[in-house]
Amino acid sequence: MPPVVVLVNDLMQTNYRYERIEPIGKNYHPEFHPELTPKEMLGLGVFGGRYMTDCQNEFPTEWFKNAKLSPDFHDPDLNCFGVNASQPLSVWQEKGWIYEEDPRGWFQWYCRYYMGRRCRDDERQIKRWQGMRRHIAQIKNNCLESDLNCRRKQRQALLHWAYDSRKY
């Protein structure tokens, strides 16, 4: 597949370029198995609907047809579990979790990875994604099977990391 060059101009990046070198949704790292696609995540309700409201030109239109978005403010009611499971971007920046090329954080990295970009931050982000598995064990150990009202904040946080917490 020949590389596809993407030019990004949104509120957080100007004239940022990257290449998509893999087919969309294919050829993932062997230890990276997200359970949800970015489109599915946006449709379920993540990040209070505030995420990616100004960068829709970068991604497929169909991702946003049923997305639960709130361009003006973070609205936890739009989240799948109706709770806020996010920390402000400033916290992520303070902790050094933001890769300079993905100023919005993990989900932006995942969207671009899904679209075929590969970059020097892939291994770190995949390790961070793997670290969220501990929350699955906590849900399984503390909740009745399919009790979606149990540990709603943890379930929402797992959705933010492409784990389908509705099945635990």
Question: Which domain covers residue 53, as residue numbers?
Answer: 4-167
Residues 6+ apart with CB under 8 A from 150: 139, 142, 143, 144
pLDDT of 3 above 90: yes
Q: Which residues partner with 5 through β-bridges? A: 19
> Domain tally for the chain?
1
How many residues are there in the chain?
Answer: 168
Q: Which residues partner with 19 through β-bridges? A: 5
Confidence of residue 1 (pLDDT cuts 50, 70, 90): confident
* 8 Å CB contact between 13 and 100: no
How much is the pLDDT for 88?
A: 84
Residue 7's H or E segment, with its range, is strand 4-9
pLDDT tens-digit series, residues 102-131: 999 999 999 999 999 999 999 999 999 999
Q: At what angle do helices 133-142 and 122-131 cross, to 10 degrees?
A: 10
Q: What average pLDDT does the structure give for the chain?
A: 95
Q: Tell me the C-alpha distance between 51 and 161, whole Å.
A: 13
Q: Tell me the C-alpha distance between 58 and 61, whole Å.
A: 9
Q: Give this prediction's pTM.
A: 0.95
Which residue has better confidence, 153 or 146?
153
pLDDT of 141 above 90: yes
How much is the pLDDT for 122?
A: 98
